[in-house]
Structure 1
Amino acid sequence: MKIMEAGSRPTKKASADWFTGTVWQDPVHEAPEPARLRALRVAFEPGARTAWHSHPLGQTLHVLSGLGLVCTRGDAPRRIRPGDTVWIPPGEEHWHGAAPGTAMVHLAMQEAMDGVSADWLEHVSDEDYQRPPAG
């Protein structure tokens, strides 16, 4: 058993290669092999979002606070709120982030396959981000 004490791992600013706007990441866990789980607490400032990406083994998001958006390629964004859990199947291209005027924090959980937990693509255009949410 290993306990990772609160505050023992620094918060990191997310890479501008994979995010638009200011995003902060706190590591929750990166399991050693043969386990594959990787989890992060991700805090998006208003308007911040991921680039388009997919996950070889899928991804689960659990919203902790704020108001966010999640979008599958070809669809309109959908609103996500505290307590919502989103399952994104393997290989599905998507993005997620904060709503335009509200910050959002979620727990992102995904598994790594051959050391890869995400396949990053191009940044989400302002036009795609600003599409009216579905529903």
Structure 2
Amino acid sequence: MNTEFEKQNIFGLGPENTAFAQYFIGKSYLKPLVEPGKSPVFLANVTFEPGCRNNWHIHRASSGGGQILICAAGSGWYQEEGQPAQSLGPGDVVVIPPNVKHWHGAKANTWFSHIALEVPGTDTSSEWCEPVADEVYQAL
């Protein structure tokens, strides 16, 4: 990890995200920013090593729900199914509606960190889908 990224990543790395490793290509790290159950929203700093990305996934909800990403450090990607990928950097905010298939992660040669906020809703769940194909990722 480079020193400039470490300076930018003010919320810190956190432990390796082993609980969700099966849904990622590469290593990610998760640092909760609020204690689960102590707040109506869950916030966590998610850090991706270079080339790391999560699988396509959907934040399901019958009402409300979705996710908000607040980019904190480094450089990454966000893509919704059927749309071009968006380049992300510090200060960018992505509002992900419920029931939209998408993925996010680091660019190939840079670390990336974002705050993930799970939007409260009714009947919320996460549906994990297939990995982002190497050919798709490498073409970005």
Tell me which residue corresponds to 2:132.
124
Question: Structure 1 counterpart of 2:86, which letter?
Answer: R
Summarize deviations over 1:9-53 as a string: whole Å, max 9, x none: x624243211110111111225539x6412210010110001101
| Shift, 1:119, TM fit | 1.6
- Does residue 41 of structure 2 align to residue 37 of structure 1? yes
TM superposition score normalised by structure 1: 0.80
Tell me which residue corresponds to 2:3.
none
- Does residue 14 of structure 2 align to residue 22 of structure 1? no
Q: How far apart, in 1, do the equivalents of 2:31 and 2:41 lie? A: 15
- Deviating beyond 6 angstroms after TM superposition, the runs of 4 or more aligned structure 1 residues are none
| C-alpha contact 2:45 2:114 (8 A) present in aligned 1 | yes
**Structure 1: where are the runs of 5+ without partners?**
1-5
Q: How far apart, in 2, do the equivalents of 1:32 and 1:126 lie? A: 37
Considering fraction of residues, name the structure with more helix.
Answer: 2
Summarize deviations over 1:72-106 as a string: whole Å, max 9, x none: 11222110010000001001000000001111010
- Secondary structure of the residue aligned to 1:127 is helix
Q: Percent identity?
A: 35
Aligned residues: 124
TM superposition score normalised by structure 2: 0.77
- Does residue 107 of structure 2 align to residue 99 of structure 1? yes
CA RMSD of aligned residues (A): 2.4
